[in-house]
């Protein structure tokens, strides 16, 4: 395993536990991609036999060899302007206005440990065995260098990618596109899956066969977005949860991204992913470098479950950081759906008392505690306590909450500003807007220019002052609009294209300062629910509010889609009131609880309004969640049904050794005289299992192949919970 090099052949092979990745610099120094997939033990170049390539053109040195063309061969980091007419990974404009870049092999190096990326979040591997492979390419006409970096986490079957573009020439160049990676898959028929949606319905998987030409998943909203997610899967047409081949990738980036997948004239597939070039430009002065965000890739020869397990592990252990990454998270009560803006200290105190009595660990005070903020029309930017609502300031309330045995958390929306705020009146130039144009408003608010140091310093000082004023253990970091009207008063005209990426770099810098200075604070990301649910945010916030839709039926679908890439511990999920505030739907409290348990669990309703029976249920649910927390967050997660097409939502948490399994879900519609449903779990077929609450013992093989019979369901959205324990084999 590891990185194997044949210097003479300029052949490189990266092997992980179950996968292999091969590259070769050919006789012209063109870096070809030979293979990514299961282990082969063979140089896969033999597959690259091309007939006359017709209208595709050849590089100059190939003379009249009509079988050699950049336009048809698999390339590791394809560049524009020199005869590959498919999607390119990099595009530049040189000082003379020309746009060609002809990257050829220059050298390589192998290092122990995983590389970092300056100013950007990336996979870290302090405790995991990791290596870095670097390969340098150069455009000799301009001395532009590209260093491709690969982080190899062997045990996890993970390969990371990032590129550094260096201007070693004698004039500035302008980057128009700098993708994090390109992956050519020259063989096989493939389908692709991306995750699409909207506010309150995020990350639904959409699967389609590839068609010739380019298919795209992307956005230009300034954030990773509700609408598309910076992640995708390419899979064989027969691929399912536990069989079939699939490749997956996600970006460790929170800004606008672009994934393009092209099926070319020879039925070869190319995937390119990175910052969205529609919202990007970068001037690279002589001697400067640009680093792309990181992409994380995996391959599974045994279906989506394995792909998800690889991603879950790397995100939980090697992207999330800090005290809380593997720790049990507090069960919280959030006041948003209980009060919206209509609260005072007494109301919050009562919500806290009710929650403490039922076993919650933390009270989170949501929007409305600061400035003049009685609706969403004003106050953003004024991060000082509204003493009319909270007399005595936060300290008084926090002490009362602490006296109940609970921690205290607080909502912020640091990147935004209301025009009706003290901050905007003093610093209108801090908002992103174009001089002499009226800016677009989103939720009545404007966006602060996070590329400015003075803006970041103001935010750091304001947040730090609040964190120091009282014992605050958690921050929910919201961002409630998409960004447009891009313009920064601090950038010259030729650099305005840099603003969207500089915004994200600024955001990350602010997070880094706060993470470092307040290591005990748990940060939860949020953007109108899951509008910025990405691995970049997870580097700073180990959990993210998954969606503003808290309806259990809808959430089952949203969490199903989210789980393809992101682990359960990252998914913020709460039990809310019925009729649900987003859909009007009524679901049983137990169904809402099992759905919310597939995440960092909490409640978001006025518990005081519940009946005694419901209160008992809540108290029992919190106890049950705490008991199962190590299994739910630390175990392997299996999707047992597809709730977007079936009448049942079903998922499983299994311990690594398969000795304990918990199955949760719901049957959507009950029909009269329905045949008993037998659900097929993932178990160790060789072992015997006892179902909690019953005396019967079954073989794993029976429960996997025949299934577990569900008790008769009654009503709609009927909850399911089945707990299985492995029995000693006689
Ligand atoms: C966003 C969040 C909600 C809530 C509101 C407050 O919509 O997703 O959970 O915090 O903002 O304004």
Q: Are strands 289-291 and 571-576 parallel, antiparallel or unpaired?
A: unpaired
pLDDT value for 348: 97
Q: What is the mean pLDDT of residues 39-49?
A: 94
Q: Are strands 474-477 and 257-263 parallel, antiparallel or unpaired?
A: unpaired
Active site residues: 534, 614
Task: Give nearest CA residue, ligand 1 atom 11.
Answer: 528
Q: What is the mean pLDDT of residues 591-597?
A: 98
Closest C-alpha to 21, from 74, 67, 69, 68:
74
Residue 53: pLDDT band by 50, 70, 90 thresholds?
A: confident
Q: What is the mean pLDDT of residues 367-377?
A: 97
| Cβ of 102 below 6 Å from ligand 1 | no
The atom number, within ligand 1, closest to the CA of 476 reads 10
User: Does the structure show a pLDDT above 60 at 649?
Assistant: yes
| Cβ of 369 below 6 Å from ligand 1 | no
For the beta sheet containing 688-691, the strands, ordered from the edge strand earlier in sequence to the opposite edge, are 636-639, 648-654, 660-667, 718-727, 688-691, 697-699
Q: What is the mean pLDDT of residues 433-450?
A: 97
Hey, which residues does 145 pair with through a beta bridge? 138, 166
Long-range contacts of 204-211 (CB under 8 A, 24+ apart): 204/557, 204/558, 204/561, 204/644, 205/560, 205/561, 205/564, 205/644, 207/235, 209/237, 210/261, 210/263, 210/269, 211/263
| Cβ of 548 below 6 Å from ligand 1 | yes
| Cβ of 549 below 6 Å from ligand 1 | no
Cβ proximity of 490 and 506 under 8 Å: no
Q: What is the mean pLDDT of residues 189-210?
A: 98
Residue 634: pLDDT band by 50, 70, 90 thresholds?
A: very high
Backbone angle region of 244, left / alpha / beta, with phi > 0 → left and psi within -120 to 50 → alpha: left
| Cβ of 606 below 6 Å from ligand 1 | no
pLDDT value for 729: 56
Closest C-alpha to 459, from 512, 382, 516:
382
pLDDT value for 730: 47
Candidate from 365, 366, 414 with most ligand 1 atoms within 8 A of CB, to mutate: 366
Kindly state the percentage of the chain with pLDDT values over 90: 95
Q: What is the mean pLDDT of the chain?
A: 97
Output the CA torsion sign for 482, 486, 489, 494.
Answer: positive
Task: Give nearest CA residue, ligand 1 atom 3.
Answer: 528
Q: What is the 3-state secondary structure (H, E, C) of 281-316?
A: CEEECCCCEEECCEEEEEEECEHHHHHHHHHHHHHH
User: Does the structure show a pLDDT above 90 at 704?
Assistant: yes
Q: Report CA-CA distances (Å) from 616 to 46, 84, 451, 588.
A: 67, 66, 50, 14
Q: What is the mean pLDDT of residues 531-548?
A: 98
Closest C-alpha to 252, from 223, 294, 214:
294
Cβ proximity of 259 and 273 under 8 Å: yes
pLDDT value for 57: 85
Residue 674: pLDDT band by 50, 70, 90 thresholds?
A: confident
Residue 168: pLDDT band by 50, 70, 90 thresholds?
A: very high
pLDDT value for 127: 82
pLDDT value for 215: 98
Q: What is the mean pLDDT of residues 35-53?
A: 93
Long-range contacts of 707-712 (CB under 8 A, 24+ apart): 707/678, 707/679, 707/680, 707/681, 708/663, 708/678, 708/679, 708/680, 708/681, 709/676, 709/677, 709/678, 710/667, 710/676, 710/677, 710/678, 710/679, 712/674, 712/676
Q: How does pLDDT run across 116-157, given as a tens digit for each residue?
A: 999 999 999 988 789 999 999 999 999 999 999 999 999 999
How far does Cα 339 stand from its chain's mean position?
Answer: 30
How far does Cα 569 stand from its chain's mean position?
Answer: 12
pLDDT value for 49: 87
Q: Are strands 158-167 and 294-300 parallel, antiparallel or unpaired?
A: antiparallel
């Amino acid at each position: 395993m590891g990185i194997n090099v044949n210097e003479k052949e300029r052949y490189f092979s990266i092997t992980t536990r179950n996968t292999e990745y091969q590259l070769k610099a050919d006789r012209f120094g063109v870096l070809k991609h030979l293979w990514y997939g299961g282990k082969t033990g063979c140089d896969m170049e033999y597959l690259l036999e091309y007939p006359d390539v017709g209208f595709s053109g050849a590089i100059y040195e190939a003379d009249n060899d009509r079988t050699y063309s950049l336009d048809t061969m698999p390339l590791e980091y394809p560049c524009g302007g020199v005869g590959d007419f498919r999607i390119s990974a990099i595009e530049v404009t040189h000082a003379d206005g020309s746009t060609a870049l002809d990257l050829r092999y220059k050298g390589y190096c192998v290092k122990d440990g995983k590389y970092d990326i300056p100013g950007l979040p990336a996979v870290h591997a302090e405790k995991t065995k990791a290596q870095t492979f670097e390969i340098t390419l150069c455009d000799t006409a301009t001395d532009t260098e590209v260093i491709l970096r690969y982080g190899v986490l062997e045990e996890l079957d993970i390969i990371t990618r990032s590129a550094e573009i260096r201007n070693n020439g004698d004039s500035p160049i302008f980057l128009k596109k700098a993708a994090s990676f390109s992956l050519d898959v020259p063989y096989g028929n493939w389908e692709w899956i991306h995750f699409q949606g909207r506010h309150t319905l995020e990350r639904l998987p959409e699967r389609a066969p590839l068609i010739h030409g380019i298919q795209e998943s992307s956005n230009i909203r300034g954030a990773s977005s509700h609408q598309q997610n910076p992640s995708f899967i390419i899979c064989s047409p027969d691929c399912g949860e536990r069989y079939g081949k699939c490749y997956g990738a996600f970006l460790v980036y929170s800004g606008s991204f672009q994934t393009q997948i092209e099926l070319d004239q020879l039925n070869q597939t190319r995937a390119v992913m990175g910052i969205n070039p529609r919202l990007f430009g970068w001037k690279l002065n002589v001697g400067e470098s640009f680093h792309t965000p990181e992409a994380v890739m995996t391959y599974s020869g045994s279906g989506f479950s394995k792909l998800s397990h690889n991603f879950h592990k790397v995100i939980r252990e090697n992207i999330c950081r800090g005290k809380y990454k593997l720790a049990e998270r507090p069960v919280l009560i959030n006041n948003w759906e209980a009060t919206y803006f209509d609260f005072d200290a007494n109301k919050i105190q009562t919500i806290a008392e009710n929650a403490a009595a039922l076993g919650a660990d933390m009270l989170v005070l949501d929007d409305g505690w600061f400035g003049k903020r009685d609706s969403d029309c004003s106050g953003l930017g004024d991060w000082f306590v509204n003493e009319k609502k909270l007399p005595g300031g936060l300290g008084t309330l926090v002490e009362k909450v602490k006296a109940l045995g609970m921690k205290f958390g607080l909502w912020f929306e640091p990147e935004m500003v209301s025009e009706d705020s003290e901050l905007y009146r003093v610093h209108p130039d801090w908002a992103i807007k174009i001089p002499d144009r009226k800016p677009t408003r989103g939720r009545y608010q404007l966006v602060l220019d996070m590329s400015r140091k003075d803006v970041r310093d103001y935010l750091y000082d304001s947040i730090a002052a609040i964190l120091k004023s009282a014992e605050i253990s958690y921050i929910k970091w919201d961002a409630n609009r998409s960004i447009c009207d891009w313009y920064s008063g601090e950038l010259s005209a030729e650099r305005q294209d840099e603003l969207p990426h500089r915004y994200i770099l600024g955001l990350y810098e602010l997070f880094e300062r706060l993470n470092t200075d307040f290591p005990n604070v748990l940060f939860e990301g949020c953007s109108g629910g899951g509008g910025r649910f990405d691995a970049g945010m997870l580097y700073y916030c180990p959990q993210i509010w998954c969606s503003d839709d808290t309806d259990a039926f809808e959430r089952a679908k949203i969490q199903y889609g989210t789980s393809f890439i992101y682990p359960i511990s990252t998914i913020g999920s709460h039990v809310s009131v019925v009729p649900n505030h987003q859909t009007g739907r009524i679901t049983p409290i137990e169904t809402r609880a099992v759905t919310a348990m597939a995440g960092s669990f909490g409640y978001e309703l006025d518990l005081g309004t519940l009946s005694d029976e419901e209160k008992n249920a809540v108290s029992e649910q919190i106890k049950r969640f705490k008991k199962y927390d190590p299994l739910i967050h630390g175990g392997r997660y299996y999707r047992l049904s597809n709730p977007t097409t079936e009448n049942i939502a079903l998922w499983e948490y299994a311990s690594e050794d398969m000795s304990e399994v918990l199955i949760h879900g719901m049957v959507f519609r009950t029909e009269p005289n329905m045949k008993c449903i037998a659900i097929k779990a993932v178990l160790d077929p060789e072992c015997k299992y006892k179902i909690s609450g019953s005396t019967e013992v079954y073989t794993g093989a029976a429960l996997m192949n025949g299934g577990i019979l569900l008790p008769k369901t009654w009503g709609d959205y009927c909850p399911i919970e089945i707990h299985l324990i492995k029995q000693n084999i006689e």
